[in-house]
Amino acid sequence: MENSNSEIKKVIAKKAFEYLTSKLHKDSILGIGTGSTTNFFIEELIDKNPTLKAIVSSSKASTQLLENAGLEVSELNDVGGPDFYVDGADEINERLEMIKGGGGALTREKIIASASKNFICICDASKQVRNLGKFPLAIEVIPMARSYVARQIVIMGGTPEYRVGFLSDNGNQIIDVRNLKMKVPYEIEEKINNIPGVVANGIFSSRRADLLIVDKNGEPTILK
């Protein structure tokens, strides 16, 4: 099953690269996300090595993969907003709202996604859901605020759990939240963002994906 899932992710990543081939050119800026499906897209990028103005990355892990292959990774501050951003999701609904952050890179992912003109989500069909919230919601917090933020989440009805032994690439801590009702993801995203000490949360509603590439019966399908 695991190998089959990996093959599906490879097919999706290849489809995403094929979709972008005619749209990328020497002045294009490409944003790269984080995660297992995105890693297969990175393999495609390394193999085809298109001529681009710049590549920006949402995590140290993705940056290392790219740089180990000899590709230069730029800072977002230096090149401006990407024309396309390619990343996965832990959950995605029919409105292309997502939960992301299982890998802990949610803040940088949200920054690059928000700065990008086009956000392409790539994932396998198991990530498609009717309602967001079964997958734990990651919240990146300033360390001194962790307990305070957790108490506010309890008041909201969620069950917070500290991700022990993990620090984000920004040096912050992560709280994973279960049992939070997300009938209106945008409202929950904004409410959590307004808690002092929160850096970012893993609800991607105010910046949804523009395009989803997902498998349907083993075949990659593009949904807008």
Of 93, 121, 88, nearest in space to 183 by CA: 93
pLDDT given at position 203 = 98
- φ/ψ bin of 16: left (φ > 0), alpha (ψ from -120 to 50), beta (otherwise): alpha
Are 23 and 102 in a shared domain? yes
pLDDT for res 2: 46
28 with 67, same domain? yes
Q: Of the candidates 146, 71, 79, 160, which has an alpha carbon nearest to the alpha carbon of residue 115?
A: 79
The residue among 28, 25, 24 whose CA lies nearest residue 54 is: 28
d(CA 198, CA 192): 7
Q: Are residues 33 and 122 in the same domain?
A: yes
Q: CATH no. for residue 166?
A: 3.30.70.260
Say yes or no: 25 and 123 in one domain: yes
- Co-location of 85 and 99 in the same domain: yes
Do residue 117 and residue 167 come from a single domain?
no
Count how many Cα atoms sit within 13 Å of the Cα of residue 53 in the half-sphere of its side chain.
16
What is the structure's pLDDT at 163? 98
- Asked if residue 141 and residue 66 are part of one domain, the reply reads no
Q: Please give the pLDDT value at position 224.
A: 85
Query: Which tokens in the block code for residue 135?
Result: 């997958």
Number of domains in the chain: 2
The CA distance from 128 to 144, in Å, is 35
Task: Please tell me the predicted confidence (pLDDT) of residue 219.
Answer: 83
Instruction: Please pick, among 44, 91, 97, 109, the residue that the annotation labels catalytic.
Output: 109
pLDDT of residue 24: 94
Residue 189 catalytic? no
Report which residue type is found at 47. D
Alpha-carbon dihedral 118, 123, 125, 131, rounded to 10 degrees: -60
φ, ψ (nearest 5 deg) of residue 170: -90, 0
Domain span at residue 198? 137-202
Position of tokens 């734990």? 136
pTM exceeds 0.85: yes
Q: Give yes or no for a contact between 42 and 62, defined as CB atoms under 8 angstroms apart.
A: yes
One domain for residues 148 and 119: no
Q: For 72-189, where are the E strands, in sequence order? A: 84-87, 91-92, 98-99, 118-123, 137-141, 159-162, 173-178
pLDDT at 9: 92
Give the domain CATH number at 41.
3.40.50.1360
Tens of each residue's pLDDT in the chain, 224 residues: 345 788 999 999 999 999 999 999 999 999 999 999 999 999 999 999 899 999 999 999 999 999 999 999 999 999 999 999 999 999 999 999 999 999 999 999 999 999 999 999 999 999 999 999 999 999 999 999 999 999 999 999 999 999 999 999 999 999 999 999 999 999 999 999 999 999 999 999 999 999 999 998 778 899 98
- Helices 36-48, 60-68: axis angle to 10 degrees equals 30
| Residues 122, 40 within the same domain | yes
Q: With contact defined as beta carbons under 8 Å apart, do 161 and 149 qualify?
A: no
Please give the pLDDT value at position 216: 83
Say if residue 123 is in the same domain as residue 210.
yes
Is 210 found in the same domain as 198? Answer: no
User: What residue has token string 């495609």?
Assistant: 44
Residue with tokens 């990659």: 220
Question: Do 27 and 53 belong together in one domain?
Answer: yes
